[in-house]
Amino acid sequence: MALIDGTTDDLAEIAKVARAWYDGAGLSDIRRAAPFVHLTGRFEVPDRDPARLTQSEWQHLRTEASELEYPWKPAYQVLVEAAHAEPVLRALFPLASHGVLRFSTTTHPRLSIVAPRLVTHDIDRYSLAMTVMDEDSALFATAPEAVAAAVDRLPDGLTPVALGC
């Protein structure tokens, strides 16, 4: 999982980043040394604490949702923020791709996905499905409505996120 990314045509700049990383520089120091570097929002979590990894992934997801350009970006960003505002979802490890938000009770690399999944369709339509292959089982006009329905459909007895070893 990338902690930084960026684009440059200057190989010396890439070498500068690699050297700073090798020397143990922090992410913000690397960013200052090489302005082309973009911090992804994932934190360094050297102890691999599952709760901190989950917080880090939420940070990354929120950063990504606010910065990337998608046709459905505003609706997707609203969905991510609504899910993050819900404590029970915020406690789960988030996964996102192409406007779809899912949750796991374990971190990478071995994920344990729990239903449901939330889908962004456009600015005023979200859906909820209970399995990956499931058709959208419910449509909602707002992200908070979809998030509330997702919380209602979570399985009972969820435990804190564990390391997915």
The domain total for the chain is 2
Residue 159 in domain: no
| pLDDT of 95 | 92
User: Hey, what are 119's tokens?
Assistant: 């889908």
CA distance 60 to 53: 10
Q: Are 106 and 141 contained in the same domain?
A: yes
Q: Are 73 and 127 contained in the same domain?
A: yes
Residue 70 in domain: yes
Residue 63 in domain: yes
**Closest by Cα among 117, 71, 66 to 92:** 117
How many Cα neighbours within 13 Å face the side chain of 101?
Answer: 32
pLDDT in tens, 58-69: 988 998 888 777
Q: For residues 2-11, give the mean pLDDT.
A: 85
Q: Are 92 and 14 contained in the same domain?
A: no
CA distance 77 to 67: 9
| pLDDT of 90 | 96
Amino acid letter, 60: H
pLDDT in tens, 106-161: 998 889 999 789 998 876 789 888 766 666 578 899 999 999 999 999 999 998 89
Residue 82 in domain: yes
| pLDDT of 125 | 86
Q: Are 26 and 77 contained in the same domain?
A: no
Q: For residues 42-57, give the mean pLDDT.
A: 82
Enclosing domain of residue 33: 4-39
CA distance 104 to 106: 5
Q: Are 71 and 17 contained in the same domain?
A: no
Residue 54 in domain: yes
Residue 45 in domain: no
| pLDDT of 5 | 82
Residue 8 in domain: yes
pTM over the 0.85 mark: no
Position with higher pLDDT, 165 vs 42: 165
Residue 86 in domain: yes
